[in-house]
Chain A
Amino acid sequence: MAAPTTPPVPLINWHALGQVIATSVALGIGLVVIFSVGVYSLSVFRRQDATIAMRSANALLVALITLVILATGAWGFYIVVQK
């Protein structure tokens, strides 16, 4: 009976590299886009001529985006700590 052969270890861990690229593209671009939308909303919120409805909607959006950004930051912190 032939001895079981172990598959050769690839020189480059393509799987991990692919995961890094996919996550980085999604989160890197996604977070910057979300933050930018938040910045624009904050700017609208601070306008003198903004109606109460506009202010309320944008304030809600800014709060939501702040929460998302803080949660992502906390996730990043968790990754560092649990290593």
Chain B
Amino acid sequence: MHNSFVLALVVLIAIAFDFTNGFHDTANAVAPTVATGALKPRTAVILSSTFNLVGAFLSLKVAATIASGIVSQTSIILPVVFGGLIGAIAWNVTTWYFGIPSSSSHALIGGVIGAMMAHAGGSAILWSGIVGKVLAPAVAAPVIALIIAAIATTLARRLTRNADSNTKSLAMRVGQIGSTSLLSIAHGTNDAQKTMGVITLALVANGTIGVNSSTPKWVVVVCGLSIAAGTMIGGWRIIRTMGQGFTRLSPTQGFAAQMTSSVVILSASHFGMPLSTTHVATGSILGSGVGTKKRTVRWTLARDVALAWLITLPAAAICGALAFYVERLFGASIGVLVMTLLLASYCTVIFIISRKDKITAENVNDRWGEHGEAFEKATEAVPTGV
């Protein structure tokens, strides 16, 4: 199949996905740093963005796969890739508007599953892969992170209770800056490579490059710049939810949460367990709330976020399937153009609506409830014995 117009739009949409991935996932690395004042909000996102860019260039073992082990790789065609990306962007933008930290990777997988089902039916889906690579890790990641962060916060609090408060605050903030940097590098490496893989796959599927060709340099550069630009914009709505919504973070909590996130994510990466950075970071922040003396956490908000995680896959799948059907209805070139325009319109509408109550670097740390959030008094968690 050779269709340069379709390929160009697929690449454009992939870059757009990378951008949304950047601003959607900024919170994972910077939310506690911003919330505790370890860095000023703008400084934090600039630091994260820089390390995202560095991370994108660090490892270039890019695999030309998408949702590998979840959908049949032999059935993947360009419109399926396109549908998957549309589903993922639509879900990312929607969850961003509501300030919900959800997994961009799961959104992409969901979009591809939907488009693939529309294309080849349920037989092209490796259902066991969904359980092993998506559902089980989605349950395990936040639970592991929550428990470790709760224990770590409790111990850190007790060990430093007699320390001078200025020294403690300064040291914990420095520690946070270090873990933010490491998390950002890991994010740049993992997530930018995903998009590099998607674009490489599209180039192979279109016959532009050979099956065994390496990823073109321009793909690496564009993906790195795109995710860094997305991060630089700063997904302030999600940063606010993670930094102010779940619990009120002290420097000690912030450090324990970020150290936990870094260790869990890097361990998972090392042992080949696909844990979502978003799920780990959310679990760590909740755990740092549980680890405080009063164990104060907004569990209703946590429940709502968990609910969003639950519907990420089906919601993105529906969008992906719709995108595929529209392509089929109008024909490849016009269909892809129509879907691109529809997506652009949807994103514009969401952006305009979001302007009514702008969350920016200036007000991201306002008290929870001041920006129309359903204010729920942080409640005490059931003691965990830690």
Q: B-contacting residues of A (Cβ < 8 Å)?
A: 9-13, 16-17, 19-21, 23-25, 27-29, 31-33, 35-40, 42-43, 46-47, 69, 73, 76-77, 79-83
Q: A12-B131, A73-B178, A76-B186 are in contact. List 8 more A-B contacts (CB 8 A).
A: A13-B273, A20-B271, A20-B275, A32-B156, A33-B155, A76-B182, A80-B182, A80-B266
CB–CB A40/B163 < 8 A: yes
A-B contact count (CB 8 A): 134
The answer to whether residues A35 and B175 also contact, given A20-B275, A27-B263 and a CB cut-off of 8 A, is yes
- By the criterion of a CB under 8 Å from any partner CB, how many residues of chain B are at the interface? 50
Q: Which of B170-187 contact A (CB under 8 A)?
A: 171-172, 175, 178, 182, 185-186
CB distance from B47 to the nearest CB of A (A): 15
CB–CB A42/B171 < 8 A: yes
Indicate the member of B131, B153, B182 with the most A CB atoms within 10 Å. Answer: B182
CB distance from A69 to the nearest CB of B (A): 8
Q: Which of B148, B171, B185, B255 sits near A25, CB closer than 8 Å? A: B148
CB–CB B273/A17 < 8 A: yes
Q: Which residues in B have their C-beta under 8 angstroms from that of A23?
A: 263, 267, 270-271
Q: Which residues in A have their C-beta under 8 angstroms from that of B271?
A: 16, 19-20, 23
B310 within 8 A of A: no
Query: What is the CA–CA distance of A76 and B171 in the complex, to the nearest angstrom?
Result: 20
Indicate the member of B155, B178, B186, B259 with the most A CB atoms within 10 Å. Answer: B259
The answer to whether residues A77 and B267 also contact, given A11-B136, A36-B156 and a CB cut-off of 8 A, is no
Query: What is the CA–CA distance of A35 and B164 in the complex, to the nearest angstrom?
Result: 15
CB–CB A39/B267 < 8 A: no
The answer to whether residues A29 and B171 also contact, given A20-B144, A80-B186 and a CB cut-off of 8 A, is no
The answer to whether residues A39 and B263 also contact, given A29-B155, A73-B182 and a CB cut-off of 8 A, is no
CB distance from A38 to the nearest CB of B (A): 7
Q: Which of B151, B182, B259 sits near A35, CB closer than 8 Å? A: B259
The answer to whether residues A13 and B272 also contact, given A31-B263, A80-B55, A80-B59 and a CB cut-off of 8 A, is yes
Query: What is the CA–CA distance of A39 and B273 in the complex, to the nearest angstrom?
Result: 33
Q: A-contacting residues of B (Cβ < 8 Å)?
A: 55, 58-59, 61, 128, 131-132, 136, 140, 144-145, 148-149, 151-153, 155-156, 159-160, 162-164, 167-168, 171-172, 175, 178, 182, 185-186, 189-190, 255-256, 259-260, 262-264, 266-273, 275
Query: What is the CA–CA distance of A24 and B265 in the complex, to the nearest angstrom?
Result: 9
Q: Which residues in B have their C-beta under 8 angstroms from that of A29?
A: 148, 151-152, 155
The answer to whether residues A38 and B178 also contact, given A32-B152, A43-B164 and a CB cut-off of 8 A, is no
The answer to whether residues A20 and B61 also contact, given A29-B152, A39-B167, A39-B168 and a CB cut-off of 8 A, is no
CB–CB A40/B152 < 8 A: no
Instruction: Jot down 17 A-B pairs with beta carbons below 8 A, ordered by A.
Output: A11-B136, A13-B273, A28-B259, A32-B153, A32-B155, A36-B155, A39-B163, A39-B167, A40-B162, A42-B167, A69-B178, A76-B186, A77-B185, A80-B182, A80-B186, A80-B266, A83-B269
